[in-house]
Amino acid sequence: MKIIQGKPVVPGESRGRALVSRVPLSFWGGVDPHTGEVIDVHHDLSGQVITRKALLIPSGRGSCSGSGIMLEMIRQKTCPNILISIEAEPIISLGSVLGYELYKRGVPILTITKEEYESIPDGALITVKEDGRITVE
C-alpha cells in the first residue's frame, strides 16, 4: 500500500480501480457520455469504459465542451469515480463542480507529480479523501 498526497482540484471522496493512460484525453468526441466508453480510436484507452474507474490521464485535451460531457456523464452515472492527472484541467473540472451543484454528486479531481503518476499501476485500487490523500493498493 502506498499513500500519495494529491492536490484536490475538485475535492471529494471515492474509490475505484485505476485505469491508466499515458495520453491526454478529450472528453468532447473522445468519450461517449451515454456509455462511458472511450471512443477516440487513436487513444490508448479506446474501447475501454471509464465508468466507476479511477481514471488517470496526464492531462485533458482540447475543447471547451468537455465540461458539458463530464456533466452529462455525472447526470447519467457513466462518469469515472475519480480523475487524477499531472496537469489540472479546468474545463473538465468545471463539469464536476456543476455536477455537485446541480445533482449533488460529482467526480473528485486531483493532481499529482509526474513521478507519482508513473508509480500507479493499472488496476490498482485507488481511494481518495477530501484532503487529497490518495491510497494506492
Instruction: Give the residue numbers annotated as catalytic, written as ranges.
Output: 63
* Helix pair 66-76, 90-103: axis angle to 10 deg: 40
The phi and psi torsions of 50 (rounded to 5 degrees) equal: -95, -5
Entry pTM: 0.96
Give tens-digit pLDDT for 97-135. 999 999 999 999 999 999 999 999 999 999 999 999 999
Domain that residue 56 falls in = 2-136
pLDDT at 89: 86
- CATH code of 114's domain: 3.50.30.10
How many domains does the chain fold into? 1
pLDDT in tens, 47-106: 999 999 999 999 987 667 899 999 999 999 999 999 999 998 899 999 999 999 999 999
> pLDDT (tens digit, 9 = 90+) per residue, 6-46?
999 999 999 999 999 999 999 999 999 999 999 999 999 99
Report how far residue 62's alpha carbon sits from residue 24's, in angstroms, rounded to the nearest whole number.
9
Q: How confident is the model at residue 62, as a pLDDT?
A: 67
Give the strand pairing for 54-56 and 82-85.
Answer: parallel
